[in-house]
Structures are given as structure tokens and as C-alpha cells.
Structure 1
Amino acid sequence: MHLSAPLYRLKREARLLSREAGIPLAAALDRIAAREGHARWSLLAQRVAERSPAALIHPRFRPGEMILVAARPGQGKTLLALELALAAMKAGNRAAVFTLEYVEREVEARLERLGARGALKDLLALDCSDEICSARIMERLQGCAPGTLAVIDYLQILDQRRDTPNLQTQVAELSAFARRSGAVLVFVSQVDRSYDPALKPLPDLADLRLPNPLDLSLFDRAVFLQAGRLRVVQCGGEGK
């Protein structure tokens, strides 16, 4: 299935159409879906979900892995991380989202739009506290089953509080916890503003925004996004 633009951009078009045409968002979404060859937005979203990057990437994760999902703003990195949480739940695992960027109702609304309803919703834990740090994450995940997937949104914000250990220490603690517990930890990460897509189609590890030192070998894989394209790399290894 080929779309004229990534799904998140089609949603933006629908929101703009809704405002300009004075029609409900649901009607605008259906108009965009019709243009893409589907009778309703729900059918288009279902087809996309079946072929989504998250559905393809998640089965490659192994218990205990540390994952980076990185991009410049507006490229869909948080969306992909939430889709990975949903993929984990669909596979029968529990999931957790720790975010310092969004309030609870925003995350719940985004997950519901992705299909996290009913029994699936019961598999999710959500933490939007200002106290999020490695210690809190490990405490909330204590006793989790192998394969539990936790999204941390986002990596750099763990480095902003003066009353918590530095980023290197926190990530090292979380890496050791992931190995012990079998949890999969997915860190949403910023890409530095110096990254220029005109010079390089996709960012890489060298483009991560890291104000303070961080040993990237603590991560197993990194997923980079730009303009609807995606690349998975082994940290310190060749692209896959």
C-alpha cells in the first residue's frame, strides 16, 4: 500500500481541512482516506497498522534490550514509540509509558486513537510524574515479566534535574535493570539541530543531541526517522 504521505502528515492535512472547511475532524479524515483509495479513515488506519514499522520492528526486539527512537521534531518518533508499546500489548506483553512531555489525557487519547482500548488498555501503565528518573522507572517496573516494553519520553529530559544522578549513571542503571528483568526499554531521543537532511537523508548516532557524555554502547539498537523514512541500526554496528 502506497500513501501520498506518511500517516502522521495525512492526519495534519485532515486537521487543517477540518478547520478550513468547517467540518468535523472525522469527516475530514474520511475525505483524506477517500483520496488515498479507502472508503473510511478507520480502514486506512487499519491497513497502515498491519504494515506499520512498529509491527515489523517489535518482533526483532529481545528481552533486556535498550532501544533508541530518534528524530528531529515532527518526524513521528513519539508516535512510533507508542506504536511499539501497542505492538507489545498485542503480543500479550504489558507496556508502560513514562513521559515528562505530555499529560495523562494526551497520552491516553493518542493511544486510544492507535487502538489501545478494552483489554489492551488494561495492559498499560502510564506515568506522567515530574519525578520520573531511573530510580522511579525501576521501582514502577519492579517484578515485570520479560518482554514488558517501557517507553521513556524522552532521553535528554532525564538529564535536567540536579537532584538526580547524571544521564550516564541513570542510563547505566536502566541498562542493568533491563538485563536483569528482561524488560525492553525504548527511549525517545532528540536529534541535534545541526543535522541537515539535505546532506544526509537520515540521522545517525553522531547526530544525537547529548549535552553531557553518554556511552551509546549501553543501547542495543537505534531507530532513526526522517521524512517518512526509517532506519534501524545496531549501536556501534552496521545498519540492518
Structure 2
Amino acid sequence: MKLSAPIYHLKRQAKRLSREEGIPLHAALDRIAATEGFSAWSMLAAKAAAATPANRLFPQFKPGDLVLVGARPGQGKTLMSLELAVEAMKSGSRAAFFSLEYTEKDVLDRLRAIGVEPVEFDKLFEVDCSDAISADYIVKQMAAVPRGTVVVIDYLQLLDQRRENPDLTVQVRALKSFARDKGLIVVFISQVDRSYDPSVKPCPDLSDVRLPNPLDLTLFDKMCFMNNSEVQFRAAS
């Protein structure tokens, strides 16, 4: 059964219902689950966890891949990237989330939004929200991590916002080389240009990636674009 909205949207609906009607959150969650055809929220959550796009996509990644996850704001690209990290950790690999956008609390709250308690992966998951994040910084921080680690970068367009950092293409090339040498999977969250028109195509593509500074997009091995619960994946030819 396909949900009427992503699970994090349904959770927001339940929280709003809980406030408006003065009922416990668990009761509101169960009521929302009933509208989706489930007897309880736990049943809905189990179904959603077994059928996430990340669950289907992650097996298509291999060590050394550079992956681009692109969408307009509010379409779930951060949550998708976290779900990919969770898939890695479920298989016993490590994951790291580097963010120039969020605080550590924000990241952990988003994990909870997809039904994951951070303590479940306490020894496998690392969050870094330093203002110094750049390709060089990430390479230094990840120098000793094992093969198969998933590194999420939030987000692509912020890597060269500091004048002292190299051009974006230089940084992405450096991370590509590092990923291949170390056997890591590097996932870049990416903004999509405001000119993208969903009435013309259901999902954005590489031509819609917002590029305030030049970047060779052929550096990416895999691409995932999202819009309105639609997810499109393709590998570089």
C-alpha cells in the first residue's frame, strides 16, 4: 500500500492533530495510521521502513561512488540522505553527516523523523557541523574510517562559500579521488534551481542543479532526484 504522503509528513499531521484535539501523540499517530489503512502507527511505520526508496537504492551503490541527491526545499532530500546512511549502518558500515546547514540537534531530530533513534547506531554514526567543512576538512576527518563508510555532505553548494576554500570542482574532484582510494560512498545533498518546473517534468535532473559556481557534473557516478514523493535514480553512462 502506498502512503498518501511521506512518513515525516504524516508525523507532522499527527503532531498537529495532537495539539488541536488535546489527545496523546500516540493516539494521534494511530488515528493518522487508520486513515492510511493500518490498524496502528507501529504497523504503518514497519511497512514504511521496509519500502523506503533508500532501501531500494542503497544496494545499487558501491565503494568509491559519488552520489548526488537533488530536490527543491521541502521535498525530503536531507531525510533521503539520512535514510541512505541508515541503510549503510544496518549492514554494519559506518556513516558520517557533515552539515554546513544544520546543528547536530537538527540532524538527530531528522533521524527521529524517519523513525530512527540515534542511540541505535551510537558507535556507527558521526555528525560534524563545523563551519570549517570543506573537501580538505572532510578528508582529514575521514582518513581512518573503514571501507564502505557512507559520508553525507550537506550541502554541495555551500562547500566553497568561504573565499579561502578551493573552487567547487577542485573540491569535488578531491573527494572523488579520496572516495575511490578509501572505498567510501560520498553522498552530496544538492539544491535544485528555482526555475525547475514540475509541470514540465515530474522530477528535476542534472540540468536543474543550482550552480552559483561552475562544477563538472560528470564527476557524479549516481544521481537521485526527488519531487512530490516521486524519486528518480540513474547511474552515469
What range is the shorter-chain TM-score in? over 0.9
- 1:49 has 2:42 as partner: no
Q: In the alignment, what sits opposite 2:148?
A: 147
Distance 2:140 2:39 in 1: 46
Residue pair 1:64, 1:146 contacting (<8 A) in 2 also: no
Stretch deviating more after TM superposition (153-162 or 25-34): 25-34
Distance 2:120 2:200 in 1: 45
Distance 1:128 1:27 in 2: 35
Q: Give the letter for the 2:80 counterpart.
A: L
Q: After the TM superposition, which parts of structure 1 deviate over 6 Å for at least 4 consecutive aligned residues?
A: none
Q: Normalising by the residue count of structure 2, what TM-score does the alignment of the two structures yield? A: 0.94
Distance 1:143 1:75 in 2: 33
Q: In the alignment, what sits opposite 2:14?
A: 14
Q: In the alignment, what sits opposite 2:165?
A: 164
Q: Normalising by the residue count of structure 1, what TM-score does the alignment of the two structures yield? A: 0.93
Residue pair 1:66, 1:218 contacting (<8 A) in 2 also: yes
Q: In the alignment, what sits opposite 2:75?
A: 75
What does residue range 148-227 of structure 1 map to in structure 2 within 5 Å? 148-227=149-228
- Could you tell me which runs of 5 or more consecutive residues in structure 1 were left unpaired when the two chains were aligned: none
CA drift of 1:118 comes to 4.0
Distance 2:149 2:10 in 1: 31
CA drift of 1:29 comes to 2.0
Distance 2:125 2:189 in 1: 18
- 1:32 has 2:63 as partner: no
- Could you tell me which runs of 5 or more consecutive residues in structure 2 were left unpaired when the two chains were aligned: none
How many percent of aligned residue pairs carry the same amino acid?
A: 54
Distance 2:18 2:78 in 1: 24
Q: Give the letter for the 2:146 counterpart.
A: A
Q: Secondary structure in 2 aligned to 1:159? A: coil
What does residue range 116-135 of structure 1 map to in structure 2 within 5 Å? 116-135=117-136
Q: Secondary structure in 2 aligned to 1:45? A: helix
Q: Give the letter for the 1:60 counterpart.
A: Q
Residue pair 1:71, 1:189 contacting (<8 A) in 2 also: yes
| 1:43-72 Cα distance to aligned partner (Å, 9 max, x none) | 211211111111111111000100000000
Residue pair 2:79, 2:111 contacting (<8 A) in 1 also: no
| 1:172-227 Cα distance to aligned partner (Å, 9 max, x none) | 11011001000000000000000000111110000000011101111101100011
Residue pair 1:202, 1:224 contacting (<8 A) in 2 also: yes
Q: Give the letter for the 2:57 counterpart.
A: I
